[in-house]
């Protein structure tokens, strides 16, 4: 469990509730997590919101759920990306070879970081698909003269995760099929 999820889990566990509220990855692009606390213990919602907001989270109630968001500048402790593959290598290559668009749009950077955190939490099952989507999106942005969001490389090569390797050369791969 990564440190962000752990912090929210502890905040939920500290509440009195008839049943333990669910905490899951948010289905929304503008939030990392969501909890059904309003359904599990509506009386505990104000205390929970105050607690998480004091810890830097943004929270919004929608349709019986509370969407929670906090975009870290570095990967949270305990989080790892999925198994690196060719699409991960392409994203890294684009980040390294292309100058990001200044500070970029913080919302766009946050959207990408959220996607990566969520995909990493899925035990890597969706990792390469997410990276493939980013690769396509970033290639279009670069072809149309727009920069790519300044996403820290650490989200693609988090501690303990090797970079994708080119088996023939024994070094990090920069391209996948010549498409990067």
The last residue of a domain, from among 18, 37, 69: 69
Q: Is 24 helix (H, G, I), strand (E, B) or coil?
A: strand
DSSP string, 99-118: ---TT--HHHHHHHHHHHHH
**48 and 98 co-located in one domain:** no
Strands 23-25 and 33-35, bridge-based pairing: antiparallel
Is 75 inside any structural domain? no
Is 46 inside any structural domain? yes
**159 and 99 co-located in one domain:** yes
The dihedrals phi and psi of 175, each to the nearest 5 degrees, come to -135, 155
Domain coverage including residue 110: 86-172
- Alpha-carbon distance of 58 to 51, in angstroms, equals 11
For the chain, how many structural domains are there in total?
Answer: 2
Structure tokens given for 174: 């920069």
**93 and 165 co-located in one domain:** yes
Give the position of tokens 């149309």: 144
**65 and 92 co-located in one domain:** no
Is 101 inside any structural domain? yes
Is 156 inside any structural domain? yes
The last residue of a domain, from among 69, 95, 117: 69
How far the first Cα of the chain sits from its last, in Å, is: 32
**21 and 92 co-located in one domain:** no
Q: Is 155 helix (H, G, I), strand (E, B) or coil?
A: helix
CB atoms within 10 A of CB 131: 27
pTM to 2 decimals? 0.84
- Alpha-carbon distance of 102 to 158, in angstroms, equals 23
pLDDT string in tens for the chain (180-residue length): 899 999 999 999 999 888 999 999 999 999 999 999 999 999 999 999 999 999 999 999 999 999 999 999 999 999 988 888 999 999 999 988 876 566 678 899 999 999 999 999 987 678 999 999 999 999 999 899 888 999 999 999 865 444 444 444 444 444 344 466
Q: Nearest Cα to 33, choosing from 81, 73, 66?
A: 66
Is 80 inside any structural domain? no
Who contacts 108 (Cβ-Cβ below 8 Å, separation ≥6)? 149
**90 and 50 co-located in one domain:** no
């Amino acid at each position: 469990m990564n440190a962000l999820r752990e912090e929210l889990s502890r905040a939920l566990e500290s509440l009195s509730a008839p049943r333990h509220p669910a905490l899951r990855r948010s289905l929304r692009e503008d939030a990392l997590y969501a909890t059904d606390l309003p359904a599990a213990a509506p009386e505990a919602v104000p205390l929970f919101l105050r607690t998480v907001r004091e810890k830097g989270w943004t929270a919004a109630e929608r349709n019986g759920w509370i969407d929670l968001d906090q975009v870290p500048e570095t990967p949270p402790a305990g989080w790892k990306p999925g198994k690196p593959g060719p699409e991960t290598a392409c994203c890294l290559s684009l980040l390294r070879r292309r100058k990001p668009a200044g500070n970029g749009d913080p919302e766009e950077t946050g959207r990408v970081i959220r996607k990566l955190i969520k995909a990493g939490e899925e035990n890597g099952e969706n990792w390469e698909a997410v990276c493939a989507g980013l690769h396509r999106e970033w290639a279009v942005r670069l072809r149309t003269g727009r920069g790519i969001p300044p996403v820290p490389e650490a989200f693609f090569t988090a501690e303990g995760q090797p970079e994708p390797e080119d088996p023939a050369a024994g070094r990090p791969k920069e391209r996948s099929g010549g498409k990067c």
